[in-house]
Structure 1
Amino acid sequence: MSTHFDLLIAADHPSRRAEFSLCDAAGVQLAYRQTAFANVSVSHQQGLFDLRDYLRLYVEAGKQGAAVAEIGVCIAEQVLGPEIFTKLWASQAQRTLRIRLPGAGDTGNHLAAALARVPWEIARPRADAQTLGERNLVVRVVHDMPAPASTPIELAPDEVLRVLFVFAEARGSRPLGARRERRQLLALFAQEIYPQRRIVAHFLTHGVTRERLAAQIQENGGYHIVHWSGHGHRNRLELCRPGGASDRLSGQELLDLFNDAGGFLPRLFFLSACHSGDILRVQDWNDFLAVAQGKEPGTKEADTREAHSRDLALDEQPGYTGTAHALLQGGVPSVVAMRYAVGDDYAREAAVEFYRALLAHAQPKNVAAALTLARQALLDGKKHDPARFSVCDHATPVLYGDEQPGLSLAQGRSPGMDPAIATPVRIPEY
């Protein structure tokens, strides 16, 4: 039984068709499927490509769990097809599915970009069955693209691993639970990570500007892991201007900031911000759904419901690809990002569970496995209260790029520990 699968997706936007080829680790094709999305109902397409807003706009309260299960069955039956899905479903051992999406960053291939948003982990054979994610399938997405010009900073075998947490929020923005998230992460590092790992964490908070971020990177010789917590706006991350007003940073601008600060690209970027993994250009969304309904794109009729368009702010920030995609193209090996808007509670708890698995476990997990374990922990009613999360939250985080970005962890007490009293000193907040 294979423990590694490749799913190569060749999407043809003009015909609204996609070819799916499932291969094993040796590249041998195991199954094939051609899917015509014209045969998938428009409501199911909306659920496939924009699950959170589909639930928010079209599904009654109390029926969202059933709707997610229905979309999961649609992925299994109508998108992947029985032959591919059965091979992925057969085992419950931990295994990896690498989604390969050539053309996902092409400006004209809207279908490929939309397929990057599909929550493959929720696929299931029937509504009352486990999902692929619950059966320990680890999913990551890769895009075929040219080799990046820049490389991430090296981590020597005995070097201290540096982690930067950025809590970016402009004055007047909708407040997030940033203080609570910082406290939980500080406690995790102080109690579970610092006593056994040569890791240091810095927290950049309270009015983060581009200038402060660049200075922080330069002064510390870069960071191997960067975690960004804050608002996202479809390829725009929010931070502050020097006077406190909102400043929005595109994925390319974020990449340029790291390069201009000395070329200190991180090996792992965790984007805990809404829409950070979205690579569908927003001015194309109405056009795509309009064609799916047999309408002419770009017409008033093609607005796919006026309320839907208004709520989704479809004219916001046209012409950009996702922040995660920009970072990957620029040379960051691994990016964890959000497919959709994510709840504050879920984002906070997922981050804590992710770093626990990645850095604190006796046998640290790779990025893909750590994300899967975090998702499973939040589904466990004995560990977390599921009532605090949206049913869509569990389908929101996604890994782009490598599952192992080269984070070799050195054992030993963190330099942040006081060896005389064996307790952590205050972790720096800037």
Structure 2
Amino acid sequence: MMGWIAATRGAQIELRVLQYGVTEERLRDVVKEDEGWDVVHVSGHGSGGTFLLEREDGSSREITGSLLAEWLEPLAGRVKLVTASACSSAALTAAEHLRLLGLGPAVRDDRADPAGRVDAVDAADRADRVGSVDAEEAGEVPALAVELVDRLGCAVVAMRFPVVDDFAVALSRGLYEGMVRHGQTLPAALATAIRETLVEGPSPECPALSAGTPALFGAAAGDLRLGVRGGGEPVFGGETLRMDGFPDEPERFVGGSG
């Protein structure tokens, strides 16, 4: 979505996409690149306080939200928004509800001024779910959204319930179009995206519960804008979009589908 906006609106966006083979090592390396990233979009399978990545051999690895947030912690102070597009990434325990109501440890609030250019990394993983986190070994598993706010001090969009892929994709498209293309605040862009995604009513692709699934976390979420600068004419055509310095297209795209 951000790549499309950059091409059609002349927005200054540096986009990095991790599509397949998203291992701990690869994710941690990208997090440390250059000066960091303004936006992180985490898309994949998850449940409650866990998220699914891959191992080097391609098998699935289920990690806690605490561990994922720890790997992203080098972005604290730079990152403005994390979207956790995974099932139940905002599901809260009773203890977490009490803490968020001020009856527990305070949440850190580190705000960063919007930069002229937005750098974003999209870690998308569609591996089959294999294995699980041992609850007795891991202890209480907090919601991924809460961990991200605690460690990064940024705004977080997360899902309170299981989410259907079609709805998650449409929601993300509307969210980033509102913030990047139209300059809306995060709450306005999210509300508009939900409304437009469900405009035709509930369906198998967008169940009725979807309207109450996305949730905002973090003090910075209230008035967050990405502040992306634009300008210039839209750029289309193979002659003008050549990828200089890139290797030739492989005969077979590993991990892709028809």
Q: TM-score, normalised by structure 1?
A: 0.42
Deviation of the 1:320 alpha carbon: 1.7
Equivalent in the alignment of 2:193: 374
1:356 aligns to 2:177 (yes or no): yes
Q: Answer with 1 or 2: which has the greater Rg.
A: 1
Equivalent in the alignment of 2:184: 365
Helix, strand or coil for the counterpart of 2:11?
coil
Q: Distance in 2 between matches of 1:262 and 1:385?
A: 37
Equivalent in the alignment of 1:407: 226
Helix, strand or coil for the counterpart of 1:347?
helix
Deviation of the 1:367 alpha carbon: 0.7
1:345 aligns to 2:166 (yes or no): yes
Q: For residues 213-247 of structure 1, what are the alpha-carbon distances to aligned partners after superposition, in whole Å with 9 as ceiling and x for unaligned?
A: 11112224311000011011211111011122222
Q: Distance in 1 between matches of 2:50 and 2:232?
A: 37
Q: TM-score, normalised by structure 2?
A: 0.68
Helix, strand or coil for the counterpart of 2:41?
strand
Q: Check whether the contact 1:272–1:337 (CA below 8 A) recurs between aligned residues.
A: yes
Structure 1's 336 and 386: CA in aligned 2 closer, same or farther, altered over 3 A? same
Task: Specify the code of the residue in structure 2 equivalent to 1:200.
Answer: E
Helix, strand or coil for the counterpart of 1:392?
helix
Structure 2: state its 5+ residue gaps: 96-131, 247-258
Alignment coverage as a number of residue pairs: 203
Structure 1's 193 and 318: CA in aligned 2 closer, same or farther, altered over 3 A? farther
Structure 1's 367 and 421: CA in aligned 2 closer, same or farther, altered over 3 A? same
Taking the TM superposition and a 5 Å limit, the aligned residue runs for 1:216-227 are 216-227=30-41
Q: Distance in 2 between matches of 1:206 and 1:336?
A: 23
Q: Check whether the contact 1:196–1:411 (CA below 8 A) recurs between aligned residues.
A: yes
Helix, strand or coil for the counterpart of 1:212?
helix
Deviation of the 1:409 alpha carbon: 1.6
Q: Distance in 2 between matches of 1:281 and 1:369?
A: 29
Task: Specify the code of the residue in structure 2 equivalent to 1:269.
Answer: V
Task: Specify the code of the residue in structure 1 equivalent to 2:84.
Answer: L
Q: Distance in 1 between matches of 2:186 and 2:85?
A: 15
Q: Distance in 1 between matches of 2:170 and 2:92?
A: 25
Deviation of the 1:388 alpha carbon: 2.4
Match among 271, 274, 279 for residue 92 of structure 2: 279
Structure 1's 423 and 335: CA in aligned 2 closer, same or farther, altered over 3 A? farther
Task: Specify the code of the residue in structure 2 equivalent to 1:404.
Answer: D
Structure 1's 276 and 202: CA in aligned 2 closer, same or farther, altered over 3 A? same
Taking the TM superposition and a 5 Å limit, the aligned residue runs for 1:84-163 are none
Q: Distance in 1 between matches of 2:77 and 2:22?
A: 19
Match among 186, 204, 213 for residue 27 of structure 2: 213
RMSD of aligned alpha carbons: 3.2
Q: For residues 106-151 of structure 1, what are the alpha-carbon distances to aligned partners after superposition, in whole Å with 9 as ceiling and x for unaligned?
A: xxxxxxxxxxxxxxxxxxxxxxxxxxxxxxxxxxxxxxxxxxxxxx
Equivalent in the alignment of 2:214: 397
More RCO (CA 8 Å, sep 6+): 2
Deviation of the 1:390 alpha carbon: 1.2
Q: Distance in 1 between matches of 2:212 and 2:229?
A: 32
Identical positions, percent: 26
Deviation of the 1:318 alpha carbon: 4.7
Q: Check whether the contact 1:258–1:264 (CA below 8 A) recurs between aligned residues.
A: no
Deviation of the 1:352 alpha carbon: 0.7
Q: Distance in 2 between matches of 1:281 and 1:425?
A: 53
Q: Check whether the contact 2:9–2:181 (CA below 8 A) recurs between aligned residues.
A: no
1:256 aligns to 2:256 (yes or no): no
Q: Distance in 2 between matches of 1:206 and 1:237?
A: 15
1:270 aligns to 2:87 (yes or no): no
